[in-house]
Amino acid sequence: MAKAGGKSTTKWILLSKARARAVLAFGSPEFAQLKLTEWLLAGTLHARSLHPATGSKKETDPGPDDPKFWQDELVDIPPSEHLFFVGDFHRLFINWDESRAERDSYKFYAIEVAENDLVRLLLPDVGPDTSPPTKRAHRLTPTEVMAREEFPPVGKPPATMSAAEALRRLARRIQQHNKSAPDGLKIKVSDDTMRRAIKRR
């Protein structure tokens, strides 16, 4: 993680918010979750939880900051007099809405991911096109992602808001992002770019 003056400049956002951004970018909740899990497993999207695990976690068991935590596997549960359910069982369960995940017999709550990582991974010009083959999703530009955060759900300001006020709010949102983003991930925009993002002239 980038540091300045000995302090981390990483901005963390809840997993639920990261999922919402990915859905806006990919257009499909299922595909967004698939990509987020893929990035977490690859270690390209860093995660953490400031809350201690609940349940039976061993010292050697991975936490959200370890890519191994996000590796799901099917395990076979043998018959037992204490269990009503037997058969294949997923080791990992992610509750995207509540930003929590359960692995084996322990859970982590309030899981966060690095916003800088997420923005970089959602940039339209990084890597090959990863849209689902059956439905090519529009890849949002970073400015469009910021516009949808400021004016949910589609980045369109209220009809009663002037274009000047909408541009000021969007510019302020981008400035907030740029304060914590490393140089390579800062969003550089012009009035024309912001006007296209909010569909105002």
Residues 31 and 61 in one domain: yes
Residues 145 and 103 in one domain: no
Dihedral pair phi/psi, residue 65, rounded to 5°:
-80, -5
The answer to whether residue 172 sits within a structural domain is: yes
pLDDT of residue 8: 56
Q: What is the pLDDT of residues 172-181, one digit of tens each?
A: 888 887 776 6
pLDDT of residue 69: 94
* DSSP count for the chain of H helices, then E strands: 6, 11
Residues 126 and 153 in one domain: no
Distance (Å, whole) CA 133 – CA 129: 10
The answer to whether residue 31 sits within a structural domain is: yes
Residues 102 and 53 in one domain: yes
The answer to whether residue 135 sits within a structural domain is: no
The answer to whether residue 86 sits within a structural domain is: yes
Distance (Å, whole) CA 25 – CA 32: 8
Domain boundary among 98, 130, 162: 130
pTM for the predicted model, two decimal places: 0.58
- The count of residues in the chain is 201
Q: Cβ of 73: how many Cβ atoms within 10 Å?
A: 9
The answer to whether residue 136 sits within a structural domain is: no
Residues 36 and 63 in one domain: yes
Range of the domain at 198: 141-201
Q: What b/e string do you get for 89-118 counting C-beta neighbours within 10 Å, with b at 16 or more?
A: eeeeebebeebbbbbeebbbbebbbbbbbb
Residues 160 and 115 in one domain: no
Report residues of the chain scoring pLDDT below 70: 1-8, 75-89, 124-140, 180-185, 200-201
